Amino acid sequence: MSAGRTIFETEHDDFRALVREFIAREVAPHAEEWNDAGMVDKQVYKAAAAAGVMGFNVPEAYGGLGIDDFRYNAIVAEEMNIAGSGANGLALTLINDILAPYLLRLTTEEQRERWLGPMASGSLLFSIAMSEPGAGSDLAGARTSAVRDGEHWVLNGQKTFISGGLLCDAVVVFCRTDPDAGHKGFSLIVVEDGTLGFEKGRKLDKIGLKSQDTAELFFADCRVPVTNLLGTEGMGFRHLMENLPAERLSIGVGAVAGARRTFDDTVKYAHDRQAFGQSIGSFQANRFMLAEMATELDIAQTYIDDCIRRVLTDDLSAVDAAKAKWWCTELHKKVVDQCLQLHGGWGYMLEYPVARDYQDVRISTILGGTTEIMKEIIGRDLGF
DSSP string, 66-120: ----HHHHHHHHHHHHHHGGGGTT--HHIIIIIIHHHHHHH--HHHHHHHHHHHH
pLDDT tens-digit map of 88-102: 778 899 999 999 999
For residue 86, pLDDT beyond 80: no
Residue whose C-alpha is closest to residue 249's, from 333, 328, 336? 328
Please indicate, yes or no, whether the overall pTM of this predicted structure exceeds 0.85.
yes
- Maximum distance among all Cα pairs of the chain, rounded to whole angstroms: 79
Q: Where are the beta strands (DSSP E) in the chain?
A: 126-129, 145-149, 152-163, 170-176, 186-192, 198-203, 214-225, 229-230, 274-275, 278-279
Confidence of residue 226 (pLDDT cuts 50, 70, 90): very high
The one catalytic residue in 78, 79, 247, 296 is: 247
Catalytic residue list contains 247:
yes
Average pLDDT over residues 23-33: 92
pLDDT tens-digit map of 258-293: 999 999 999 999 999 999 999 999 999 999 999 999
pLDDT for 177: 97
Query: Over the chain, what is the mean pLDDT?
Result: 95
pLDDT for 3: 67
